[in-house]
Amino acid sequence: MLAFLRALPLLWQLGLLAGGGIALGGGYAYWHHKVYSSGYVAAIADVEAANAESVNAADKAREIVRECFDRGGNWDTVKRLCVVAGQ
């Protein structure tokens, strides 16, 4: 193979070398993009999961406070409980 390359004119040698470099560089760029992209997708999924947990927790807390108000009470933010007058 090396003898074949040495037999080629210099311009062809440079062209093959450049083509090989472009192929390797393109392969690396494609691979890097895939790795970067998969990490980005994983990070977004983690953030979405954390947001969903936060929304669920807020909804539960809002429901507890709303039930307190529906019973005619007031929500004590310090004690974190419902205070109903007369009880």
Q: Enter the DSSP assignment of 86.
A: T
Residue 51 counted as domain residue = yes
Model pLDDT for residues 20-42, shown as the tens digit of each residue: 999 999 999 998 888 888 888 88
Residue 53 counted as domain residue = yes
Residue 4 counted as domain residue = no
Residue 22 counted as domain residue = yes
Model pLDDT for residues 10-20, shown as the tens digit of each residue: 888 888 899 99
Pairing state of beta strands 74-76 and 81-83? Answer: antiparallel
Q: Got the DSSP string for 18-79?
A: HHHHHHHHHHHHHHHHHHHHHHHHHHHHHHHHHHHHHHHHHHHHHHHHHHHHHTT-EEETTT
- Look at residue 81 and give its three-state secondary structure: strand
Residue 6 counted as domain residue = no
Q: Give the count of domains, the chain.
A: 1
Domain that holds residue 69: 11-83
